[in-house]
Amino acid sequence: MTRSDTDFTARATALDAADPLAAYPGEFVGHDDPEIVAYLDGNSLGRPTRRTAERLSAFVTEAWGRRLIRGWDEEWFELPLTLGDRIGGTLLGAAPGQTTMGDSTSVLLYKLARGALAMRPGRTEIVLDRDNFPTDRYLMESIAADSDMTLRWIDADFDGGVTAADLAAVVSERTALVVLSHVAYRSGYLLDAPALTAVTHAAGAMLLLDLCHSVGAVEIELDTWGVDFAAGCTYKYLNGGPGSPAFAYVRADHLADFRQPIWGWMGRENPFDMAHGYVPAPGIRRVISASPGIVGMLPIQDMLDLIEAAGMPRVRAKSVALTEFALDLVREWLLPRGVTVSSPIDPARRGGHVTIDHPRFREITARLWQRGVMPDFRRPHGIRLGLSPLSTTFGEVLAGVAAIRAELDADLDV
């Protein structure tokens, strides 16, 4: 063991001991599993909470098993709105009545984008960046093809993201909608959301933010920033489980005019009237189409309990501390082995994950998984270290980066 190894081990131990959120990793299933050396993929799929295991079992035997159809009247019909308000207030900086749950992120992005475009008639362009998440790009390509719109692409830095200057260079009086990810899925670049909102509005356009890689790791203030629309998933930092439902935000002053394209009975005014003709429900309910996935909403409530108890300022501080520690390890141990950093160094411009690149990382990632170290791989040759603030320890970060170093050295020894 080198002096560097000894120093970093002592530092990780001290950071975990001093961590004000040190009790939280124990709240998650698998935290004490000896086969999982380091789980560094919380920005793709968060661990389940221990309370969720109990909640799901009780739901089957009690809420579903005993209350049966009465559950819709007692809770489920309103749950997309009540849980939406809770997400809005705790995580999005959104006043009540602007956030709802249901559908996948893809479906909600589609609904929001089509509704936004209908509110800007006569404008012909959608602005987005080439490094946005594939689904976001594919959806806008589909919408543009169906609506005879033109896509205006921003070419952002590979290891950065879209700046206000980048956006100002492409928006115009023709721009109807700007679609951006608050945190870039690959680089982890954190947008200056207030500045980008101001640029968008100065052009008379609307801004749709994808919050998938920021919600639960970064403090968000949609109302204060003036963002028009937003959507995000709940299976990353909100630990809702595989395919858990997404959320949608529509700014309050847009609700009266907002019309989404997938008309369903549960988003209609007085839905149980079963009347002819679609009339959108008042308020945020109009975003809903069909019966929401109630089971998928249950785990999110447990994670919100933990985040509310911890407080988002402390969650964000832990996120920054984890990524700073990871970068220090990368600088000392991995840069000399040919690794490059593809994430912002400035924590004010960095979300909750760090991306590093090396030509051998595709093969190395598979070997890391076999040894119980679980980051994820992103093309062309990047490993993302996804550090979920409430479930990840500094010791895990140390073990994970040490394993990457060991695999790089093993390749050199072959």
Mean pLDDT over 294-320 rounds to: 98
Domain count, the chain: 2
Tell whether 278 and 303 lie within a shared domain.
Answer: yes
Does residue 70 belong to any structural domain of this protein?
no
Does a structural domain hold residue 54? no
Query: Does 316 reside within a domain?
Result: yes
Residue 64 lies in a domain: no
- pLDDT 10s digits, 40-96: 999 999 999 999 999 999 999 999 999 999 999 999 999 999 999 999 999 999 999
Shared-domain flag, residues 285 and 315: no
Q: Judge if 284 and 189 occupy the same domain.
A: yes
Predicted confidence at residue 35, as pLDDT, reads: 95
**Residue 19 falls in the annotated catalytic set:** no
**413 has a pLDDT exceeding 90:** no
| Percent of the chain whose pLDDT exceeds 90 | 96
CATH number at residue 146: 3.40.640.10
Statement to judge: residues 169 and 111 lie in one domain: yes
Mean pLDDT of the chain: 96
Among the candidates 286, 307, 328, a domain finishes at 307
318 is catalytic: no
- The pLDDT of 310-338, averaged and rounded, is 98
Q: Report yes or no on 60 lying in a domain.
A: no
Is residue 139 domain-shared with residue 191, that is, in the same domain? yes
Supply the range of the domain harboring residue 31: 3-49+311-411
The residue-averaged pLDDT of 341-359 equals: 97
Are 150 and 239 within one domain? Answer: yes
Closest-CA residue to 329 (of 413, 237, 411, 396) = 396
Q: Do 295 and 169 sit in the same domain of this protein? A: yes
From the candidates 85, 210, 357, 376, which is the catalytic residue?
Answer: 210
Q: What confidence tens digit (pLDDT) does each residue in 194-241 have?
A: 999 999 999 999 999 999 999 999 999 999 999 999 999 999 999 999
Q: How far apart are CA 143 and CA 312, in angstroms?
A: 35
Catalytic option among 24, 39, 110, 133: 133
pLDDT at residue 348 is higher than 60: yes
Residue showing tokens 């115009």:
172
Question: Is residue 58 one of the residues assigned to a domain?
Answer: no
Task: From the candidates 28, 39, 185, 235, give the one annotated as an active-site residue.
Answer: 235
Given 114, 251, 384, 405, the catalytic residue: 384
Q: What is the pLDDT of residues 103-155, one digit of tens each?
A: 999 999 999 999 999 999 999 999 999 999 999 999 999 999 999 999 999 99
Indicate if 19 and 123 belong to the same structural domain. Answer: no
Does residue 68 form part of some domain? no
Q: Is residue 105 part of a domain?
A: yes
The pLDDT tens digits for 363-384 are 999 999 999 999 999 989 999 9
Last residue of a domain, one of 252, 278, 307: 307
27 and 150 assigned to the same domain: no
Q: pLDDT-derived band of residue 160, with 50, 70 and 90 as boundaries?
A: confident
The verdict on 14 and 127 lying in the same domain is no
Cβ contact 243:296 at 8 Å: yes
Residue 136's pLDDT is 98
CA distance 100 to 97: 8
- Domain boundary pick from 274, 290, 307: 307
Which CATH number characterizes residue 407's domain? 3.90.1150.10
One domain, residues 197 and 328: no
- Annotation marks residue 111 as catalytic: no
Active site residue 228: no
Catalytic residue of the set 47, 123, 186, 236: 236
Q: Give pLDDT, residue 401.
A: 98
pLDDT band at 414 (very low <50, low <70, confident <90, very high): very low
Q: Do 9 and 36 have their domain in common?
A: yes
Identify whether 384 is a catalytic site residue. yes
With a cut of 70, say whether residue 1 has pLDDT above it. no
Please give the model's pTM, rounded to 2 decimal places: 0.97
